Amino acid sequence: MMNERLLLQQERLLQTMLDYSPISVIVLDTSGTILRTNPYTWEMSGYEDHELVGRPLHMLSECPVADIQYVLQGNKKRFESYLVHKSGYRVDLQITAAPVAIDENVSHVLFICQDISERRRINDRIRYLSNYDDMTGLPNRKQFMDHLDNALELYRDRYIAVLYLDLDRFKLINDSFGQEFGDMLLMQVAERLTRCVTERDMVARMDGDEFALFFVDVESESEALQKGELITQLLEEPFVLQDHPFLLTASIGIAMNEDRNDDPGSLIKKANIALTLVKEQGRNNYRGYSPDMNMKSLERLTLQHDLRKAMSNREFVLHYQPQIEMETGRIVGAEALLRWNHPVKGMVSPSVFIPLAEENGLIVPLGEWVLEEACRQNKAWQDAGLPPIPVSVNLSVRQFLLQNLYEKVEHVLKKTGLDARYLDLEITESMTMDVDRASHCLMELSKLGIRISIDDFGTGYSSLSYLKNFSINRLKIDRSFVRDIMQDPNDAAIVAAIIAMAHNLNLQVIAEGVETEEQLDFLKEHRCDEIQGYYYSPPVPVQQLEEMLLAM
């Protein structure tokens, strides 16, 4: 009697434990048929008791036959497996399989299963976060460096090309359109870059708008450069965001493991040095690293340093390039172009120092100097009785983004006494990307009575439909199109189209970089209003322009 009660108690105890256990317990017979399950098993699997009991275990979860054998021999076994929930998703399990034996005779097997899906998910997430970029889903810097390290080891006797890519003027896009817009663009860029890598290669997001790629088993330097070309082409197709086509370019530096001591760090550094050079030389290009570039980057630092002193040392001068009216052949304007007379190096080209000045912010005071000097000079010519012409001044992005540009210009006009209609400001297309801001700013400027020209037209992001909303007076066709008018029918067609379109919008058109008679004839035929270029005159010092004006 007592014995029976004790047994009943034992049974109740066991039942209660099973009922409330937060762990799944499955009792099997020696053939693997389910005899009993507890409520947590139902919760975890989605099956009810009657759907499980009497069924073979493998309807729920796989367990290798060898393991079962091992347990049937009286041993305990711990392993990871999973089951498929009734509604289809996977539940990761940690299983302890234990034999139930009396006198070494195994009568049952107990499966004690713990749901470790959450732990798995967290671990996967941690692994993912430490190896991938969350936004684009690309591998991150850490993974890139790890894999590059492995690849260098694995392909020790072959070439590996490392490409470091920086999107051009991406900060401007972020500032103009907002971070979210920038992020969407980055995701599209990431997607395109993945198209050009195989499984052995890799593309990663290193930082902000910087990506890196490596290609294994590259035959030669020219093959490495081809990769740069390939990526440049991949990006050429406009990106489409919110139904607007959007042009994006990149600068790419390329390095190869030519030095057997190269490690991931040194390769990235070399690719970066090459990249810096690409950026200095106008971006939207690629080039390979060469050892003399180390010197060049040092030179660049020195130049930056010299640039700071150049203002106070009065090393800058303005040259002026005449702008000619097609119909009359008369000078109808002059563009002020900055020249730096370096005490040791002599004349340094603006295409070298303007990017440097933009980088260190010096472009703002420098640009203000140019504006004032050009206005002062123009007023002096007029006071000397020369025929009055407008002077064109180039504005840098940084200047254009200044809050008080309008007041600055107004102040300079007042200070120099130049009539507003004799000042023309040249801005580039990229400055008009933030359409609302640009149109407000241009409106304010033109209220002053000055003229606005769009410089280097055709090279940048151009949303022609916006042009008519801007208060602008003139388009300057970029010299790259003019250069190839005679060779490239596409360029000829573009030039003809720009002129026709500008006239439709009531804008003047000037072609820059006109060097030959043939170019002149083509432009004349298509009714281009004005030209500027070596054909007529290069940029010249003040005195020479005076002589030209006198001769008119």
Residues lying near ligand C2E in the complex (CB under 6 A) are found at 321, 337-338, 349-351, 354, 367, 370, 394-396, 426, 455-456, 479, 512-515, 533-534, 539
Contact flag: residue 166 with Mg ion (CB under 5 A) = no
Residue labelled with tokens 């260190």: 360
Query: 485 to 544, contacts with Mg ion by CB under 5 A?
Result: 512
Smaller CB distance to Mg ion: residue 284 or 394?
Answer: 394
Contact 294, 506 (CB under 8 A): no
Looking at residue 150, its amino acid is N
Q: Which does 374 bind (CB under 5 to 8 A by kind): ligand C2E, Mg ion, none?
A: none
Q: List the one residue out of 302, 319, 322 whose CA is nearest residue 310.
A: 302
Smaller CB distance to Mg ion: residue 115 or 512?
Answer: 512
Q: Which range of residues in 76-84, 103-111, 168-176, 450-458 is near Mg ion by CB under 5 A? A: 450-458
Contact flag: residue 424 with Mg ion (CB under 5 A) = no
Q: List the one residue out of 481, 493, 477 whose CA is nearest residue 530.
A: 477
Residues 6+ apart with CB under 8 A from 7: none
Q: Which does 515 bind (CB under 5 to 8 A by kind): Mg ion, ligand C2E, none?
A: ligand C2E
CA dihedral of 239, 240, 242, 248, whole degrees rounded to 10 = 20
Q: Which two tokens stand for residue 365?
A: 């005071």
Contact flag: residue 429 with Mg ion (CB under 5 A) = no
Q: Which range of residues in 66-74, 166-174, 341-349, 425-433 is near Mg ion by CB under 5 A? A: 425-433
Contact 362, 307 (CB under 8 A): yes
Contact flag: residue 455 with Mg ion (CB under 5 A) = yes
Q: Which does 168 bind (CB under 5 to 8 A by kind): ligand C2E, Mg ion, none?
A: none
Q: Which two tokens stand for residue 197?
A: 């890598």
Smaller CB distance to ligand C2E: residue 426 or 529?
Answer: 426
Cα–Cα distance, 525 to 538 (Å, whole number): 23
Give 27: exposed, middle or buried? Use CB within 10 Å, 0-12, 13-18, 19+: middle
Dihedrals phi, psi of 243, to nearest 5 degrees: 70, 5
Q: Which range of residues in 67-75, 212-220, 280-288, 418-426 is near Mg ion by CB under 5 A? A: 418-426
Is 111 strand, coil or helix?
strand
Q: Which does 235 bind (CB under 5 to 8 A by kind): Mg ion, ligand C2E, none?
A: none
Report the residue from 133, 166, 306, 426 that binds Mg ion according to the rule CB under 5 A.
Answer: 426
Is 368 strand, coil or helix?
helix
Smaller CB distance to Mg ion: residue 166 or 426?
Answer: 426
Report the residue from 81, 136, 140, 394 that binds Mg ion according to the rule CB under 5 A.
Answer: 394
Residues that bind Mg ion (CB under 5 A): 394, 426, 455-456, 512
